[in-house]
């Protein structure tokens, strides 16, 4: 994509996104890259200003700035040329996507282990030390990276990437255009036990598997436990960050976001569009309504209504949580004064 002119870059991004941008300045300005760090070599670089909080960090002069019409006056101090886009961050995503390396050529590395009966689409790329069970199926243009393991009954949809050393255990069904990052484990044994005697327990075998619908993202070292009788389900377009755990029989709704180190106990339902901050813990059999928001570090012990914002431990409505914190601060200060 680089080097390019501002005019050509804007035209390509608008064509890709179906948007309409404006250029304030010289459309023929030459751009050699995109950056967020000022320096001596940034006279031909593109920077992005989509939030005034970044203005101090971007002190310097760039070749052009990608911003919105609302922020154009402040952005004028950064560059002589301004690219005005309705959603600058989305435009940046399109620019960065174009800078990604091309997908690997199709083929199977000689060290990969494909059991007899395994189906690998001829357009798929299978890297070194990958292991594929004889009953597994891999769709068109998939990319299985180094050391990935696909177990019995696994199906991977078209255009999906399975990261290095990821494990897809039994009966894991993955949709199209999914991204599973390095070290993720899908279909790990569910944590279900039956008491047997005074201090003993018997593991309850889980046979439900895991289902990922299309366009799901699973971060590095995340774990998705298999369901007991029916599958654990991640609905279309949901995003699961690194080191997140999704317990057995849970369902993560369409477009929901689970930030890093969040943990869902078994049989949790996360509604469509819900947002869970980092290190949120959710108790078993709870329901988080559509569009619910949980502040980072919250401990959820009861259902959360649709659209509500909760925080704290135990999690409660945001206003109530903040009032309680304010009271505790005042009370602690009063007691210190004696």
What digits encode the pLDDT tens for the residues 133-142? 999 999 999 9
| In contact, 50 and 34? CB cutoff 8 Å | no
- Sequence length of the chain is 338
- Tell me how far apart the alpha carbons of residues 214 and 178 are, in angstroms, rounded to a whole number: 6
Using alpha carbons, select from 152, 132, 175, 187 the residue that is nearest to residue 161.
Answer: 175
CB neighbourhood size of 140 (10 A) = 14
Task: Give the pLDDT of residue 60.
Answer: 78
Asked if pLDDT for residue 40 goes beyond 80, the answer is no
- Tell me how far apart the alpha carbons of residues 103 and 78 are, in angstroms, rounded to a whole number: 35
Question: For the domain with range 4-99, which CATH number is right: 3.40.50.1100, 3.20.20.70, 3.40.1390.10, 3.90.850.10?
Answer: 3.40.1390.10
Mean pLDDT value across residues 320-326:
93
CATH 2.160.10.10 range(s) for the chain read 166-319
| In contact, 6 and 83? CB cutoff 8 Å | yes
Share of the chain above pLDDT 90, in %: 92
Mean pLDDT value across residues 165-186:
98
| In contact, 338 and 331? CB cutoff 8 Å | no
| In contact, 152 and 133? CB cutoff 8 Å | yes
Q: Say which residue, 197 or 117, is predicted with more confidence.
A: 117
CATH 3.40.1390.10 range(s) for the chain read 4-99
pLDDT tens profile 80-102: 999 999 999 999 999 999 999 99
Residue 101 DSSP code: P
Asked if pLDDT for residue 16 goes beyond 90, the answer is yes
- Tell me how far apart the alpha carbons of residues 308 and 271 are, in angstroms, rounded to a whole number: 12
Task: Give the pLDDT of residue 316.
Answer: 97
Question: Residue 265: which pLDDT band, with cuts at 50, 70 and 90?
Answer: very high
Task: Give the pLDDT of residue 1.
Answer: 82
Task: Give the pLDDT of residue 38.
Answer: 67
Question: Residue 334: which pLDDT band, with cuts at 50, 70 and 90?
Answer: confident
pLDDT tens profile 118-134: 999 999 999 999 999 99
| Sign of the dihedral through C-alpha 17, 19, 20, 21 | negative
Using alpha carbons, select from 229, 234, 267, 262 the residue that is nearest to residue 249.
Answer: 267
Question: Residue 41: which pLDDT band, with cuts at 50, 70 and 90?
Answer: low
- The tokens describing 173, both together, are 């069904």
Question: For the domain with range 166-319, which CATH number is right: 2.160.10.10, 3.40.50.720, 2.40.10.220, 3.40.30.10?
Answer: 2.160.10.10
Task: Give the pLDDT of residue 59.
Answer: 75
Asked if pLDDT for residue 11 goes beyond 60, the answer is yes
3-state secondary structure of 52: helix
3-state secondary structure of 327: helix
- The tokens describing 298, both together, are 């919250």
Alpha helices in the chain (DSSP H): 6-17, 72-75, 88-99, 318-337
Strands 245-246 and 263-264: parallel
The secondary structure element, H or E, covering residue 113 is strand 113-114
- Tell me how far apart the alpha carbons of residues 325 and 306 are, in angstroms, rounded to a whole number: 24
Mean pLDDT value across residues 295-310:
98
Chain centroid, CA 51 distance in Å: 22
- Tell me how far apart the alpha carbons of residues 133 and 202 are, in angstroms, rounded to a whole number: 28
Q: Which residues are catalytic?
A: 248
């Amino acid at each position: 994509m680089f080097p390019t002119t501002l005019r050509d870059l804007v035209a390509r991004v608008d064509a890709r996104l179906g948007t309409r941008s404006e250029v304030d300045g010289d459309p023929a300005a030459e751009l050699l890259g995109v950056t967020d760090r000022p320096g001596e070599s940034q006279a031909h670089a593109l920077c992005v200003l989509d939030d005034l909080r970044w203005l101090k960090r971007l002190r310097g002069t760039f070749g052009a700035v990608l911003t919105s019409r609302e922020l154009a006056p402040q952005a004028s101090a950064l560059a002589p040329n301004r690219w005005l886009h309705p959603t600058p961050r989305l435009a940046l995503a399109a620019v960065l996507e174009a800078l990604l390396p091309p997908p690997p050529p199709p083929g199977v590395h000689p060290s990969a282990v494909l059991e007899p009966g395994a189906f690998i689409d001829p357009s798929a790329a299978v890297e070194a030390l990958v292991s594929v069970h004889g009953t597994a199926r891999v769709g068109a243009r998939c990319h299985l990276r180094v050391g990935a393991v696909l177990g019995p009954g696994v199906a991977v949809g078209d255009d999906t990437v399975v990261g290095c050393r990821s494990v897809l255990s039994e009966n894991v069904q993955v949709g199209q255009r999914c991204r599973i990052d390095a070290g993720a484990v899908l279909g790990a044994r569910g944590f279900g036990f039956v008491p047997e005697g005074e201090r003993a327990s018997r593991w309850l075998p889980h046979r439900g598997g895991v289902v990922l619908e299309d366009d799901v993202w699973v971060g590095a070292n995340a774990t998705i436990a298999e369901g007991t009788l029916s599958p654990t389900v991640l609905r279309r377009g949901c995003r699961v960050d690194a080191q997140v755990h999704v317990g057995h029989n849970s369902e993560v709704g369409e477009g929901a976001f689970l930030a890093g180190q969040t943990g869902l106990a078994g049989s949790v339902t996360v509604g469509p569009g819900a947002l869970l901050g980092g290190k949120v813990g959710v108790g078993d059999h709870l329901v988080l309504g559509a569009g619910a928001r949980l502040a980072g570090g919250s401990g959820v012990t009861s259902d959360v209504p649709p659209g509500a914002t909760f925080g704290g431990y135990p999690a409660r409505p945001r206003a109530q949580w903040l009032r309680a914190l304010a009271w505790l601060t005042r009370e602690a200060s009063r007691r210190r004064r004696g």
